[in-house]
Structure 1
């Protein structure tokens, strides 16, 4: 028996390759599926099953393409209603894979079709639980995503999740390994561990939602407390996962390489969004006017999903040379398939063509400290905005600086001064550069980025506090 976790950091997502006696099961595959096929081929094995723990909201799964390429059967738990051919398992239905079995445990609550898969070894012993979004390490799946589809409140779903965990998960032996679908950084939970593999016993001892003496009422309150609104792209990904989608290889093949002049013409004629995915330092030094920065080496896909609201929006890419196909693929992972093409040769091609470009003004945290002191001496207000998440802001922030989370930046545009300089900071510089690119594209060229973000600010004498003024959190 072989179990391999294939973890994708930018999505904080774990897919699984399970092999026994020449037969393979894939659990929650990514949209680009060739890696699973190659792995099975190298091991002289055949992919038999594709298990889906639920209709994912945060990424487009590869189940449809993988089934088309291999003939493997797609398996969902009870209540699933895909439009493509799939086997809808019954609760406790057993699937044989070589010398081992996988049992479908219906665990509704995160969504109504959510299911875990319990792997038993060749001796019939419970060995591992592939827990999907039902159980994470340190947390459980958020119960607010399926409200409209299930015609229930988040409290209703949380109550169902409580029962699922108590009857199907916590009853397992402590030594059963837990393989979750996500880790820290995923928007599918609020308290996920950085670890990606654990055990039932560890979770009983450390997971706040699995306390033995916890009442259902306490569970509902704690699980629903502090949930941020889900990213706007989640419903679109659920739709793709239910109804199918285009092969990502086709999307890559149809994207064109444009020289600088053609790139400019296509951008003007199509009203495409120019997405620059280079490092923030490179974007700062020079970028195509009105382009948006979301760096490929940060939390790329989730920020694309949170900030580009129309998944059908035509996109033109500026990437590091050699990373064009990677960028197209990573956009497609979260359902953004309308990539028209990319700037051949990268940004240097644009500069060599003599075309106009823009820059971002940045200052150090020490300079910000000096500017703040001078403004205080002159009894002038200085506009500084914190684009981190509300939880980060609540933990500590600059005195009198409002919370303007990047996720909802468009709701705060009216607060930015149109003439005087204003400053943006995040934790380390990635998100503030995204924010700076957005406000510059909206015509605010008086924006200044703070290098190093709050990590650098804390090393200065700038006063900070953990006091939260409710009026600043919107």
Structure 2
């Protein structure tokens, strides 16, 4: 028996490859299926089952395409209602895979169809659980994604409490936990950085598995501090339930090379969003006016999903040479399938064609420190609320990137202001959005909070009265 976790850091997502005696099961595959198909072929094995722990909200799974390619059935737990052909398993149903067994444990709570898959080894002993978004390391799945209006987040949290205590916690301490996500995912609040653990350790470390916790206490703790889910979540759920275009078609359309004239014509004709995925330092030095920066080298796909409201939005790409297909694939992972092409030759081709371009004013933390000491400056910290509360520049205002459009009325258009984040990635995203909205008086603090600390700028950990309130 082989169990491999295929972890994708950009999405903080774990897919799983299980092989026994020439038969393979894939759990929660990513949309690009070639790695799974190629792996099985290399090992002379056949993909027999595709298991889905639930209808994912934060990414588009590869289950439909993988099933079409291999003929393997898609398996959901009870109450799932996909539009395509699938096996809707009963609670406790078992599926034989080579010399091992995968057992269905219906664990509603994150969503009503959420299911944990229990792997029994060749001896019939409970070996591992693939818990999807039911149980993370250090946390559990958020219970506020119900697709039916008559089910509240408190209802789901109550179901999750029961699922954990009747299906998960009775299992032996040596059972391995393979979660659907790790730290950085928007599907939970406070996950550990590790991606594999034992259930016994989780019983000690995970607040949600406290033996003496009442249901009321659980509901309160699980629902406390939940931020609004990204707007693309329901759109991804819809795609995962109803199906989607083959990724090969998406790649072919999205990797069409366009010269500057063609690029500009299409951008204007269909009101395409020009998305620049280069490094933030390159974007600062020069970019197409009103283009939006979200770099591939950061948390690309989640930020695309959080900041671009409509997955059907037409997109044109500015990439480094050779990164066009990578960008299209990573957009498709979160359901953004309407990429129309990329600028051949990149930004340099745009400049060489004599087209207008823009830049971002950026200063070092040392220069910023001098200005803080000698001028009356206005500072906007675009990190998350919790980061800001933990430590921030005195009198800086918090304008979290994921809600940046809600703060526009608070940001000056006529006087200079400064933006920073933790390391320089998010502040340039924020700067690009603000410039596209007509705010050209901003100044980026290069290196973010890391550079600010190193420059010795005084910090405070108290929420000051100037903190902006989420609209």
Q: Sort the TM-score into its range (normalised by shorter chain).
A: over 0.9
1:395 maps to 2:394:
no
Tell me the equivalent position of 1:305: 305
- Normalising by structure 2, we get a TM-score of 0.98
Distance apart, 1:102 and its partner CA: 0.2
> Does structure 2 retain, via aligned residues, the 8 Å contact 1:112–1:150?
no
Residue 131 (structure 1) aligns with: 131
- Corresponding residue for 1:253? 252
Matched, 1:50 2:47: no
Structure 1 partner of 2:171? 172
Mapping 1:112-131, distance limit 5 Å: 112-131=112-131
CA–CA distance in 1 between the matches of 2:348 and 2:213? 59
Distance (whole Å) between structure 1 residues aligned to residue 390 and residue 223 of structure 2? 20
- Pick the aligned partner of 1:435 from 430, 436, 440: 430
Could you tell me which residue of structure 1 aligns to residue 367 of structure 2? 367
Question: Runs of 5+ in structure 1 lacking a partner?
Answer: 376-380
Q: Which residue of structure 1 aligns with residue 105 of structure 2?
A: 105
Q: How far 1:150 sits from its partner (Å)?
A: 6.0
Note if contact 1:390-1:473 (Cα within 8 Å) is conserved in structure 2: no
Checking the alignment, whether the CA contact within 8 Å between 2:118 and 2:126 is kept in structure 1 is yes
State the match for 2:350 in structure 1. Answer: 350
Q: Does 1:473 align with 2:469?
A: yes
**C-alpha distance in 2 between matches for 1:464 and 1:2:** 50
Helix, strand or coil: the match of 2:427? helix
Q: Is the 8 A contact 2:28 2:52 kept in 1?
A: yes
| Structure 1 length-normalised TM | 0.97
The equivalences for 1:235-246 within 5 A come to: 235-246=234-245
Counterpart Cα distance in 1 of 2:355 and 2:142: 48
Q: How far has the Cα of 1:469 moved from its partner?
A: 4.0
Using the alignment, how far apart are the partners of 2:397 and 2:260 within structure 1? 40
Return the alpha-carbon distance in structure 2 between the equivalents of residues 268 and 86 of structure 1.
42
Give, in whole Å, the separation in 1 of the partners of 2:315 and 2:157. Answer: 38
Residue by residue, what CA displacement relative to the aligned partner does 1:288-309 show, whole Å, maximum 9, x if unpaired? Answer: 1110000001000000001011
Listed as ranges, the matches of 1:400-419 within 5 Å are 400-419=395-414
Matched, 1:24 2:19: no
Distance (whole Å) between structure 1 residues aligned to residue 250 and residue 344 of structure 2: 17
1:460 Cα offset (Å): 3.0
Secondary structure at the residue paired with 1:472? coil
Cα displacement (A) at 1:4: 0.7
Q: C-alpha distance in 1, partners of 2:216/2:454?
A: 43
Aligned to 2:79: 79
Which of 432, 450, 456 in structure 2 is aligned with 1:455?
450
- Correspondence 1:197 to 2:196: yes
What secondary structure, in the 3-state scheme, does the structure 1 residue paired with 2:370 have? helix
CA contact (8 A) 1:364 1:452 kept: yes
Match of 1:277? 277
Counterpart in 1 of 2:418?
423
Shift of 1:197: 0.5
Deviations along 1:174-205, one digit per CA (max 9) or x if unpaired, are: 00000000000000000111101101001001
Provide the rounded CA distance (Å) in 2 between the counterparts of 1:11 and 1:459: 30
State the secondary structure of the residue aligned to 1:458: helix
Aligned to 1:188: 187
Shift in Å, 1:472: 2.5
After superposition, what is the alpha-carbon deviation per residue over 1:361-404, rounded to whole angstroms, capped at 9, x for unaligned? 101111111111112xxxxx421101000110111111111110
Q: Secondary structure at the match of 2:398?
A: coil
Q: Deviations over 1:70-92 (max 9, x none)?
A: 10000000010001000000000
Counterpart-to-counterpart distance in 1, 2:456 and 2:246: 53
1:378 corresponds to which residue? none
- State the distance in 2 between where 1:460 and 1:399 align: 15
1:96 pairs with 2:92: no
From 438, 444, 447, give the equivalent of 2:439.
444
Length, aligned pairs only: 468
Cα distance in 2 between the residues matched to 1:466 and 1:215? 33
Please give the root-mean-square deviation of Cα atoms over the aligned residues, in Å. Answer: 1.0
Give the gaps of 5 or more residues in structure 2: none
Q: CA deviation at 1:431?
A: 0.1
Moved over 6 A (4+): none
Cα distance in structure 2, aligned partners of 1:81 and 1:425: 45
Shift of 1:149: 2.1
Q: 1:75 to 1:118 in 2, by over 3 A?
A: same
